[in-house]
Amino acid sequence: MAEQKNVFVVGLNDFNRQRLETLRGAAADRFHGVIAPEAVYDTEVFDIAAMLEEATATLEAFEGSVDAIVGYMDFPVSTMLPILCERFGTRTTSLESLLKCEHKYWSRKVQKEVIPDYIPAFTAFDPFDDDALTHIGEAGLYFPFFVKPIKSSGSRLGFRIDTPEDFYHAIEKLREDIGLIADPFNTVLEHAKLPDEIAAVDGHFCMAEEIIGGWQCTVEGYVFEGEVVSYGIVDSLRYPQVLSFFHYRYPSGLPDPIQDKMRELTDTVMAHIGFDNSAFNIEYFWDEVQDRIWLLEINTRISQSHCDLFEKVDGVSNQQVTIDLALGQRPDMPHRQGDYAVAAKFFYRVFFVDAVVSRVPSAEEVSALEADFPGTVIAVQVEAGQRLSTMPEQDSYSYALAYVWMGAASVDQLLADYDRLIARLPFEFDQVEG
């Protein structure tokens, strides 16, 4: 039997451990947690210096070999991995190549060098500069445009700007909250060798970008020893008339030529960045009216939201990719060997300004629903007595009360099953602000 490999997962929780243990070759791996999951999942406060110190101490104290260090979270986990992997001699991409994806201004600059026709107009600005709006106009951006932090976390602190009033409202929120992301991100930047132009745009800066839109999707891929591979495209479908996501669906329903072009753009930009031996995903829009493809952003990890979708459709979670790459192996991902033709992760939302949750589905009610809809997984995101505005990582327009993963033989069946399920998902509220 092959010697067991020790794989350390930053923020390992039970949900991920169960999936990891079903991967191909997982019998030869031992999975260990580094940093408690609640330190990266259930908070918006990240002391990265302390987390790096804690992780280093844990890994140094381990008596066996440290064969791989991985994570599935965006910030702060993704940005810590290159630092930890370099310290312990395990495989991942370099910190600089990772930051060329995650530092939004640097990423746009690098994208502009090779795919200028597929990115929006953009500029960086300092939200603490009282003349920021003037500078944005001088850079050639006019209403409407979108603003977001230079390093965003989920959909937080992203705003569509249609008027000066919108801008000043966004600035107020950004000045109040941007430090939660900016301060830890600046800790990471201190570890990197940055060009002067990029070093001048630190984590407290924001991006203003031309509004782009259309059919949104995500190309999941990886780079293995310089070879870029895109192995799946997942559609991101929104609720009508709002920016909030309704569900992620796999496989994509985009026309084949559009999918092919997105793979080609992905090859070009990831090779140019020098990203290597790690997983990534790239979010794109296809503007059907103008027949234009836009690159929205690059993430330096698989999407955890997509793990169950790949398992249902292809036969194994795409966590396979992360583990194989970290162990120096070409990823062993099957294709269309799962139990379902189509799968989705639904976001069950309310569009309140705020409210207090007075009742959530019980564990028994959730289990009964999962039994009635085989293959379904329901993850309730709130507790009775919780005020919705205290939920971390929400977008600016709604609250996601539950995530629901489902598979089906067709898209029509999938949507019909979801409607039947949520009709039986009991949530109640007090003190509703509509």
Q: How far apart are CA 286 and CA 214, in angstroms?
A: 5
Q: How far apart are CA 111 and CA 123, in angstroms?
A: 14
Distances (CA, A) of 321 to 79, 100, 241, 261, 310: 18, 21, 35, 23, 11
Q: How far apart are CA 210 and CA 78, in angstroms?
A: 27
DSSP string, 57-98: HHHHH-SS---EEE---STTHHHHHHHHHHHHT-----HHHH
Q: pTM of the full predicted structure?
A: 0.93
C-beta of residue 11 within 8 angstroms of C-beta of residue 35: yes
The domains located in the chain, with CATH, are: 5-98 (3.40.50.20), 121-210 (3.30.1490.20), 223-433 (3.30.470.20)
Task: Give residue 240's pLDDT.
Answer: 85
Between helix 179-189 and helix 48-61 the angle, nearest 10°, is: 50
Task: Give residue 45's pLDDT.
Answer: 82
Residue 195, number of CB atoms within 10 A of its CB = 10
Task: Give residue 154's pLDDT.
Answer: 64
Task: Give residue 223's pLDDT.
Answer: 98
H-state helical runs in 89-210:
95-102, 104-114, 132-138, 164-177, 179-189, 196-199
Enumerate residue ranges in the chain where pLDDT < 70: 1-2, 42, 154-155, 396
C-beta of residue 235 within 8 angstroms of C-beta of residue 216: yes
Q: How far apart are CA 108 and CA 28, in angstroms?
A: 40
Indicate the DSSP class of residue 205: -
The CA-based angle 158-131-188, given to 5 degrees, is 50
Q: How far apart are CA 92 and CA 322, in angstroms?
A: 10
**Amino acid symbol at 47:** D
